[in-house]
């Protein structure tokens, strides 16, 4: 069976599928978005389990299908408009840190609005080595986070309580997988650039842990909720310290360059 020289194509396709799905979900086309997120995850799974040549053609077909759905969505009425008390924010991975700063601000001001962060991916892995080190896991975590938010959206608007419970449980599993990807990244013995660790991994961990805390509470998994909440606070405190340090270094560098 012929194998491609690298699996970079799978991540390029997964990124395209993620971004199309984010656009679809932000426009209220929930079913199409969920189908596209699922395709993105399948592309990554296929590439890692069976990176044969025909998988690339399958992945590109999925991207073509998603492109068509996104193009057609502008002529279709949103099937799932926004819900009261829920704010869907579309950001890029470079905006995650600022979003976490806003989470802290909201907590201080006791905001009751549920914020779902849909993250467009603008990361482009430079090579297969970078994918294996950390970019692959980071892209997968971002995709899983978004898919989890799609399930939260579906659960909130679902009128059947049993079906809603299934949707919350599916979201829970997706965020657990996203969290596992981040743990795997941090456990590998390699050097991450300081700004990348600060701007992406730590704040993304906060967002995912916050969702796990929230969903655990909804599902009645109170011991898990306490664990996730405690871990989130620890990561958040580390992020705040590193963020302040990074901003200081960035300011000094800018002043020196002026």
Sign of CA dihedral 192, 197, 200, 202: positive
Q: What's the mean pLDDT when you consider all of the chain?
A: 81
Residue 169 has pLDDT above 80, yes or no: yes
Q: What is the band of 73 on the pLDDT scale with cuts at 50, 70, 90?
A: confident
Of 129 and 205, the one with more pLDDT: 205
Q: What is the band of 3 on the pLDDT scale with cuts at 50, 70, 90?
A: very low
What torsion do the CA atoms of 48, 193, 183, 245 make, to the nearest 10 degrees? -160
Q: What is the band of 253 on the pLDDT scale with cuts at 50, 70, 90?
A: very low
Residue 251 has pLDDT above 60, yes or no: no
SS3 87: strand
Q: What is the pLDDT of residue 249?
A: 47
SS3 88: strand
Residues with Cβ within 8 Å of residue 109, at least 6 apart in sequence: none
Residue spans of beta strands (DSSP E) within the chain: 86-92, 114-120
pTM value?
0.84
Q: What is the pLDDT of residue 99?
A: 80
Query: Of 115, 14, 104, 23, which Cα lies nearest the Cα of 56?
Result: 14
């Amino acid at each position: 069976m012929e194998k491609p020289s690298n699996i970079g194509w799978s991540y390029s396709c997964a990124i395209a599928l993620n971004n199309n799905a984010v656009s679809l979900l932000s426009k209220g086309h929930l079913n199409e978005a969920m189908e596209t997120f699922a395709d993105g995850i399948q592309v990554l799974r296929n590439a890692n389990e069976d990176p044969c040549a025909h998988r690339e053609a399958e992945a590109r077909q999925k991207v073509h299908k998603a492109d068509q759905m996104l193009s057609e969505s502008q002529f279709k009425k949103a099937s799932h408009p926004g819900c009261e008390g829920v704010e869907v924010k579309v950001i890029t991975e470079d905006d995650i840190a600022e979003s976490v700063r806003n989470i802290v601000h909201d907590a201080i001001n006791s905001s009751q609005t549920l914020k779902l962060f849909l993250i467009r991916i603008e990361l482009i892995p430079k090579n297969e080595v970078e994918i294996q080190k950390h970019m692959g896991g980071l892209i997968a975590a971002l995709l899983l986070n978004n898919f989890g938010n799609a399930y939260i959206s579906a659960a909130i608007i679902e009128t059947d309580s049993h079906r809603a419970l299934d949707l919350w449980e599916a979201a829970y599993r997706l965020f657990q997988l996203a969290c596992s990807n981040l743990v795997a990244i941090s456990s590998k013995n390699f050097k991450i650039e300081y700004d990348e660790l600060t701007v992406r991994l730590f704040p993304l961990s906060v967002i995912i842990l916050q969702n796990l805390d929230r969903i655990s509470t909804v599902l009645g998994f109170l011991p898990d909720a306490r664990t996730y909440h405690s871990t989130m606070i620890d990561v958040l405190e580390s992020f705040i310290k590193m963020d302040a340090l990074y901003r200081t270094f960035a300011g000094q560098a800018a002043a020196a360059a002026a």
